């Protein structure tokens, strides 16, 4: 993800489904989702990743933080 963040990529869709990274792995997405590479993100798929409720809450908080940074 570091290469995508530093090389001016403009991501439109990310499908991370069926990757068992769980609620702890969700924290690793934070810097990437808040990077300029994801400012154009229209669709993020996280089906069957073993995140559970706690991972979903972390994910929601990351999106709120990212949106605040955009404004």
Q: What is the pLDDT of residue 17?
A: 92
Q: What is the pLDDT of residue 64?
A: 77
Report pLDDT digits (tens) over 3-47. Answer: 777 777 888 998 989 998 887 787 778 778 888 888 888 888 988
> What is the span of the domain harbouring residue 60?
2-64
Q: Which residues contact 62 (CB under 8 A, 6 or more apart)?
A: 26, 29, 30, 33, 34
Residue 60 is assigned to a structural domain of this protein? yes
Residue 45 is assigned to a structural domain of this protein? yes
H-only helix segments in 13-51: 22-27, 30-33
Residue 70 is assigned to a structural domain of this protein? no
Number of domains in the chain: 1
């Amino acid at each position: 993800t570091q290469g995508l963040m530093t090389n001016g990529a403009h991501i439109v869709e990310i499908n991370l489904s069926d990757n068992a990274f769980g609620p702890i792995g969700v924290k690793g997405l934070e810097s990437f989702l808040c990077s300029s590479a994801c400012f154009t993100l229209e669709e993020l798929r996280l089906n069957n990743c073993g995140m559970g409720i706690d991972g979903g809450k972390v994910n929601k908080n990351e999106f709120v933080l990212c949106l605040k940074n955009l404004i």
